[in-house]
Amino acid sequence: MHNPRFLSDDNSLIAIDPDADTTLVLEQGVSPGYDTVLSGAYGPIAPYVPSEGDGPVVPVPVVSRFQAKAALLQMGLLDQVETLLVGMDAVTRLAWADAVEFRRTSPLINALAPNLTWPDGTALTAIDIDALFQLAQSIEV
């Protein structure tokens, strides 16, 4: 069984296996083995106490192709992106040309971001990329 184990306020058992990077949630009356685990047969169970870092899940920013390109243009980065794409594989170029929307976590963004620099030569940071997405989200058609 997994370790450590926690019991949540709604009586769900949460088992974490850090070696396999997995989390298992057992629900009372639904999950086989719930009563066995709850009895302590696999070891102690602690109450689940959220840490200060736990909070609402922040949605992944999604912007339209127009919004993305307009934000890059406003920040003086669009030409640089277009130049970078020339040296990238055909699928990446196709994604840039035909994607309807761009997600902050997309492989295309992750492929481009490390190669982008500001006009002064400093590399864009993850915070800069987040700010670009925020700018893009604010652009209305």
The 8-class DSSP code of residue 115 comes to G
Mean pLDDT of the chain: 81
Whole-number pLDDT of residue 108 = 84
What's the token pair of residue 21?
Answer: 């990077």
Determine the average pLDDT of the residues in 26-36: 74
Whole-number pLDDT of residue 54 = 59
Whole-number pLDDT of residue 37 = 76
Straight-line distance from the first to the last Cα atom of the chain, in angstroms, rounded to the nearest whole number: 53
> Taking a C-beta distance cutoff of 8 angstroms, is the pair 71, 63 a contact?
yes
Q: Is the pLDDT of residue 131 over 60?
A: yes
pTM, entire model? 0.58
Strands, DSSP E only, in 8-100? 13-17, 22-26, 46-47, 62-64
Per-residue pLDDT tens digits for 38-86:
787 777 777 767 666 656 656 678 999 999 999 999 999 999 999 999 9
